[in-house]
Structure 1
């Protein structure tokens, strides 16, 4: 087909019917790119990723700022393309570059291990995939979930995970100790992965000035291990595939293994009745690579000041303008794509306070057309603090208030009930409300229903719960450099007591329960640096986002150091999943008792509305010095958990009174006698 014929074909194609990106259409392929400030765009098709030249085609701009091109054959499937973008606009509202720019709507990209990435889009034809009859695994009520938040690689990278070293996606599925097998052993029914969308893993070299004059003085590891620097929202991360390499300058994603391997992993998790939740980042974009949103339509995709500089309410370098038409379209369509293509059950939206309400509503509407029980979780801050607004829109949110009430915010200056103190601004009545579900009609309330509250006391951010407790009890550990990790990981008697009280407090609170990887054995994070650039080596880490090493990798052999705590979590998970009253009772069914010590919280739960055949009596003693005797309601009560142990079958039966030791709790249940 010559140029004249191609122009005739393009004139009869209604490009408006196609999303941005590429679309296989009839015998050819449609390409679309939104770049309103560009004055010329060249599409280059490459036979091989490494090529710096290829077949060039000029695109045509429509009235909305979209550039269109129709390639009349499909003989370029399996090849790569990228854009050269030119503009006469020299203002800061347009970001120019001489580099090729990949498609923002790429379903798959190939990159080089370099902070710029040098991404090119690979053209794929959708392949059939056998899901073996599996489908979404989502409960009608999110309170039936026990979520395990983890970085996917951290659960298979350490030798103790016992993997076959066939790529992270495959290793997570097949590991003998880590990965899925650990989730099964623990008993959780949902996993929340830190970002799996293609992200900028590399940062500029430490203390070296790069071409734009920037010097990385903040990150001696030059990595973004956690993945909160998304580059391509539709494409799976290829670093975790079986054909990846971590060698500098290596090409990653040459083959599309990652697509099938993500599906294989999701299918394997679904076969174990484990929901798959994916952390997604739509509030900001990657900062140092050739992020296509910046180089195609900076002033559309991002919030800028009046001279074209990025606003930064997210504290990540830039904020996406989610209310802009093509930002919103990209966000909503990528959520739909991950659900349809990969059967993802739900999403946790990073710094969702930056996302506008119209986009929030559209995400919910479109996601629940695909799966009516889709799990939508907001991190409801960033710019604004909006958990109440998310609850009004039938979203779930992370609950930082229960975290701070129980644990505190800072191990040195802001400790909570578990450590025998009151977190700033928290009262006894507020803490009771946190246990009921942090409901709007009571003190410090946030939510219309407890099903909107994700209760947690450890996440990927900040110190691990174990380290928070260690530091709160002994602040001198802050500056200590440990040579032997087992020395700090092994809990002493007081640390173990508080760790068990923390677990019990979390698992008897109404709402959705989440724990973070390694919380179940109070893992410590000690800073590791094999390149000797980090001056804090051996110290406890409170921000491990940049360390792809033993700092973050889970050492499953450490479970034996705190086996009692691991067993405690394992049994609490069983108890919670078989006890609906512990997670979704009505507020009026939870009655608090009056004791003189404000650090001593005791309450009963009538499980009748939930269909639970038991009533419960719970006492949490945050006082580190004093024991308290509690008076039990009439009858024989079965002890499920106390200061020492936990057993879903029951430990023993008691009557009349029980002595609650300092820094401990007790969970009791009694079969309800029908009055009928």
Structure 2
């Protein structure tokens, strides 16, 4: 509602202000004045991505509308479609002026029908639910049931933030508190983000997490690395790692590069890139679902702006010039993704297998050695070792046998012929050694 589809350069907004759930955003259409254009263009776009082997996840906003008083839902059936607090005030836990009463039968039907519509008519492959923690549990289960009947490999995930006191409701919300009752749904794991890079908010970006050389997050890192799915250090959060969306950057707030620049101002650009590569490799190695925001791999910056939803393209755009200027970063991350996809044990969801196969050894200066026992897998590796060193010092480790370097912060996957027994782990580095 806040985007002028005929003049997209004015009043820039990400568009989290829905009016009609069945109407795709028109500002991207070739002819926004033609109602059919946005439908045809969206179908063509999804088909084109599918042709290239790319699946499409649709960001859906069912937890609120732009303005409840003028909403067609309010005008058709007053006081039905929206929640109210006990004092009679309109509920505003979304901080968007209203909260949709997803738990009510006809509101639920509308939302479920909309989800089915986008799967059947446009062929989308996943839904990312904005402020999923405000939607009721039963509606999410019905969505899942109806959509999986159409497309069995569909992906569901969202923001499971707990928005206020859930005991006020006579229904359960689809927040982290109900993760064990939402098998098949992923959650943006803010614990993972804060443990890895440090907490952040709009006003303070200085706190440092484990991979920003904090001295107090190593045990928490081990918990996060294993998918936040074990009673270890803090309470188990998920059924298994499939529910953990592991991220350190997304559309909200500043970028990872901005965080590094603010929290570690003493490090220069080359050191920042070293740390960025180490962090992103750790995200890709962790149990769970790795989430890499576009441009994160290139050190894209929003100039430290922490809330860019209406800041314009200058801050929000993907700068493709960086792809030429920092192509080595691109290649590094392409190699890291290729490697993760080839290693089935990093995708493990069975908690017993994870517990039996992974062990951690604390090294000097808060670095860590992660060793894998792959005897339960059909693996070519007798030994698989990951070293992560977020410190400012080079460290050393001695092994009983010579191991091959499979992957290092400097690059290549499956091509190194370097074998080491006295291992050097550079500052701000990620290293994988193997023994066949």
**TM-score normalised over the length of structure 2:** 0.88
Is 1:415 paired with 2:208? Answer: yes
Structure 1: distance between partners of 2:374 and 2:51: 31
Displacement, 1:468?
0.9
Which residue pairs with 1:574 in the alignment? 338
Which residue pairs with 2:388 in the alignment? 620
Which residue pairs with 1:457 in the alignment? 248
| Residues 296 and 608 (structure 1), Cα distance of their counterparts in 2 relative to 1, 3 Å cut | farther
Which residue pairs with 1:647 in the alignment? 412
Q: Is the 8 A contact 1:282 1:350 kept in 2?
A: yes
Instruction: Report how many residues are paired.
Output: 414
Is 1:525 paired with 2:297? Answer: no
Is 1:225 paired with 2:18? Answer: no
Q: Is the 8 A contact 1:263 1:342 kept in 2?
A: yes
Is 1:240 paired with 2:28? Answer: yes
Matches within 5 A, 1:493-532: 493-526=270-303
Which residue pairs with 1:162 in the alignment? none
**TM-score normalised over the length of structure 1:** 0.58
Match of 1:344 among 124, 132, 151: 124
Displacement, 1:611?
4.1
Matches within 5 A, 1:179-328: 199-201=1-3, 223=11, 225-244=13-32, 252=33, 254-287=34-67, 290-306=70-86, 308-328=88-108
Displacement, 1:263?
1.2
Q: Is the 8 A contact 2:134 2:175 kept in 1?
A: no
Match of 2:432 among 667, 670, 673: 667
Q: Is the 8 A contact 1:581 1:605 kept in 2?
A: no
Is 1:436 paired with 2:200? Answer: no
| Runs of 5+ consecutive residues of structure 1 not aligned to the other structure | 1-198, 204-220, 245-251, 478-490, 527-539, 672-676
| Residues 633 and 348 (structure 1), Cα distance of their counterparts in 2 relative to 1, 3 Å cut | farther
Displacement, 1:591?
1.0
| Residues 361 and 633 (structure 1), Cα distance of their counterparts in 2 relative to 1, 3 Å cut | farther
Displacement, 1:608?
4.9
Displacement, 1:511?
1.1
Structure 2: distance between partners of 1:593 and 1:513: 23
Match of 2:371 among 601, 604, 619: 604
The root-mean-square deviation of aligned C-alpha atoms, in Å, is 2.5
Displacement, 1:290?
4.4
Q: Is the 8 A contact 1:641 1:651 kept in 2?
A: no
| Residues 574 and 377 (structure 1), Cα distance of their counterparts in 2 relative to 1, 3 Å cut | same
Deviations 1:290-311 (A, max 9, x none): 4322333352111123565321
| Residues 340 and 607 (structure 1), Cα distance of their counterparts in 2 relative to 1, 3 Å cut | farther
Deviations 1:162-202 (A, max 9, x none): xxxxxxxxxxxxxxxxxxxxxxxxxxxxxxxxxxxxx5425
| Runs of 5+ consecutive residues of structure 2 not aligned to the other structure | 165-173
| Residues 268 and 222 (structure 1), Cα distance of their counterparts in 2 relative to 1, 3 Å cut | closer
SS of the residue corresponding to residue 336 of structure 1 reads: helix
Deviations 1:207-226 (A, max 9, x none): xxxxxxxxxxxxxx973522
Is 1:334 paired with 2:114? Answer: yes
| Residues 632 and 229 (structure 1), Cα distance of their counterparts in 2 relative to 1, 3 Å cut | farther
Displacement, 1:371?
1.7
- Compare the two structures and name the one with the higher helix fraction: 2
Q: Is the 8 A contact 1:501 1:663 kept in 2?
A: yes
Q: Is the 8 A contact 1:347 1:376 kept in 2?
A: yes
Greater C-alpha radius of gyration:
1
Match of 1:386 among 170, 175, 181: 175
Structure 1: distance between partners of 2:422 and 2:71: 64
Is 1:402 paired with 2:166? Answer: no
Structure 2: distance between partners of 1:299 and 1:326: 13
SS of the residue corresponding to residue 143 of structure 2 reads: helix
